[in-house]
Amino acid sequence: MHNAAFTALGLDARYEARDVAPADLERVVNSLRGEAILGANVTVPYKLAVMPFVDELTPAATAMGAVNTIITKGAKLTGHNTDAAGFTRALQEAGVTLKNKRVVMLGAGGAARAVAYALLQAGSSLYIYNRSPEKAVALAKDFAAYGTINILTVELAAGELAAAVRDCDVLVNTTSVGMEHGGLDPNTSPLPQGVLPARGFVSDIIYRPAKTKLLREAEAAGLRVQNGLPMLVYQGAESFECWTRQAPDTDVMLAAARALL
């Protein structure tokens, strides 16, 4: 999608994927210095590991505790994070307002940290449910400065989780449950059978398959839904703008991403 956007803007630049071994990480990050490079994206499992190898962090990267974008300015590398901005823009595009809304977020992994930051910055009251409760507790502690986070513990009676989900305005899945990747079973949902919000909006940040089991069930129940493709495109567009100081055509990026997926 980045190459399609470079072409659309007539920019002489190229985006390449690199498979990096853990032992090579510092060397590869250092190789991003210099006039010929605009920067890089960083993905799982290196979003935390690259942090010591850049020269400075933006407030967003510091707050989320992860870097998904490196911006090169000559010899200097800045670590940034565009995941939260991408998520916020995706929900805005769907006409979802987050201020004072009750949001249940499923998951407490890397992506959940960006989504939690976006939701708290937007003024939502946040409820988190995660399979490993200690990760939800750690996330709530790390983000305490940005708002109040309520933890829906796994010890909850099934009825209590169902009630919290039923009463929310927005449900966001940030777990990898339902994703089509490797040996994962795409026909699974992060929620027990029959547990859905009574009204409102369901966002699943998974983009493969285009409709997870959760989204199919939510749609069948008459709820509005969004998959993870808009977030993917908009976090990419934010990175693109950091590197080039030009706004890419997000329709071009979306079409290119859709064609590949």
The footprint of ligand NAP (CB under 6 A) covers: 44, 83, 86, 107-112, 130-132, 135, 174-177, 179, 190, 205-207, 228, 231-232, 235
Closest distance of CB 11 from ligand NAP, Å? 23
Shortest distance, position 73 Cβ to ligand NAP, whole Å: 25
- What is the nearest approach in angstroms of ligand NAP to the Cβ of residue 109? 2
**Which is closer to ligand NAP, CB of 83 or CB of 169?**
83
Nearer to ligand NAP, 107 or 200 (CB): 107
List helix spans (H) across the chain: 2-9, 25-30, 59-64, 83-93, 110-121, 133-142, 158-166, 213-220, 229-244, 250-260
Nearer of residues 85 and 111 to ligand NAP, judged by Cβ: 111
Residues annotated as catalytic are 47
| 76: phi then psi, degrees, rounded to nearest 5 | -100, 135
Q: Is 153 helix (H, G, I), strand (E, B) or coil?
A: coil
Measured from the CB of residue 228, what is the shortest distance to ligand NAP in angstroms?
Answer: 3
Q: What are phi and psi of 226, to 5 degrees?
A: -145, 140
Q: How far apart are CA 127 and CA 162, in angstroms?
A: 13
By beta-carbon proximity to ligand NAP, the closer residue of 37 and 109 is: 109
- Closest chain position to ligand NAP (CB): 109
Q: How far apart are CA 216 and CA 223, in angstroms?
A: 10
Starting at the earlier edge strand, list the strands of the sheet with 201-204: 149-151, 125-129, 102-106, 170-173, 201-204, 224-226
> Could you give the 3-state DSSP secondary structure of residue 70?
strand
